[in-house]
Amino acid sequence: MPPSSRTVRRSARWSTVVGIGLVAVYLFPIYWMVTASVKTQPAIRAVPPQIVPIDIDLSSWVDRVFGDPRVLRYIFNSFVVATGTMLLTLALAAPAAYALAKLRLRGKSLLMTLSLSSLMFPAIMLATPLFVIFGRLGLTDSYIGLILADTTLALPYAIVLLRPTFARIPKEFSEAARIDGCSEFGAFLRVIVPLARPGLATVAVLAFLWGWGDLVFALTLATEDSMRPVTTGLWGFFGANTSDWGGAMAFSTLAMLPPLIVFLWSQRLVVAGVTAGGIK
């Protein structure tokens, strides 16, 4: 016998409650971090813990985070590196993926194999040789060096993800543009790229997130304090021996905010990217 519509509705309501409860448990560490950043020192150490902060105290932010001019520098560095990684990844991956999907050329399988096999390259494995190569070229402790290095993480994935995106665009679009007098590249830029916007946006968001979160290249290629991004900046401030959890949580919250905002603003794209196998 089929269940009555009222039981269906009641079970749906319970599902909503459980669904919210589960995600709340999962995200508790984030909540704990953000609230700790505005707690007083005794509240941070309180047993039993203060689940909801009673007194708001911004001293962790004022003294430890914004009291130090280096922090803003780290944030700025991360923005430059993450944005640069995003742009370079798009500029390299989009034409290559388009050519792989739509144009006649030899060696397609070579490029695809190269992309697929570099998906698994750990950053740590590239860090040593890149340290040597960039050392010779004078690219250590530079934005260009970090951007070039971080793009190694995103580019292979971007090519693999974008190829089917371009393959789905009917070729009548580029043909029409060619008849109107566009060059192959002009047709690609003016007609194809706008049509592929969702795929390109997914790649852009993931490349930004990965560039922002990189630790390995920051650790090995940016040893000068003024070139550090937030990841190594955080580690340098609140390393292995810290007990200043208020400061550490405030800094962590700050380092989390840009990627969190990007994520909340582009959730659907991130879901699409992750579903296509995008894993850091």
Partner 1 sequence: MKPETTFVKHDASFEKGTAPTRAAVPSPKRRGAAARRALTPYLFVLPALVYMAGLLAYPMVLNVLTSFKDVTAVNLLSGDGQWVGLENYRQALGDSQFVDAAVHSVVYALAAVALQLLIGLALALFYVRSFPGATATRSLYLIGYAIPIVVSAEVFRWLLDGRTGFVNWVFSLLGLQHEPVYWLADRTWALPAIIGIQVWLGIPFAMVTLLAGLTAIPHSLHEAAQIDGATGWRRFRHITVPLLRPTFLAAAILSLIFTFKNFDLIWIATQGGPANASEVLPTLAYKLVFLQFLFGKGAAVLNVIFLVLLVLSLLYLAALRREEDHAA
Residues 51-110 within binding reach of partner 1 (CB under 8 A): 91-93, 95-96, 98-101, 103-105
91's tokens: 């500029």
Cβ nearer to partner 1, comparing 72 with 124 = 124
60's tokens: 């962790």
107 Ramachandran zone, left/alpha/beta (phi>0; psi -120 to 50): left
Cβ nearer to partner 1, comparing 73 with 189 = 189
Interface of this chain with partner 1, residues 102 to 161, rule: CB under 8 A: 103-105, 111, 114-133, 135-136, 148-149, 151-152, 155-156, 159
Binding residues for partner 1, how many (CB under 8 A)? 101
x-or-dash string of contact with partner 1, 206-245, rule CB under 8 A: ---x--xx-xx--xx---------xx--xx--x-x--x-x
Vertex 98: Cα angle to 95 and 99 (nearest 5): 85
Cβ nearer to partner 1, comparing 24 with 62 = 24
In whole angstroms, the minimum distance from the beta carbon of 86 to partner 1 comes to 14
31's tokens: 């909540």
11's tokens: 């079970």
254's tokens: 């700050």
Contact between 38 and 58 (Cβ < 8 Å): yes
Cβ nearer to partner 1, comparing 6 with 136 = 136
In whole angstroms, the minimum distance from the beta carbon of 62 to partner 1 comes to 20
Q: How many CB atoms lie within 10 A of CB 179?
A: 9
CA distance 184 to 182: 6
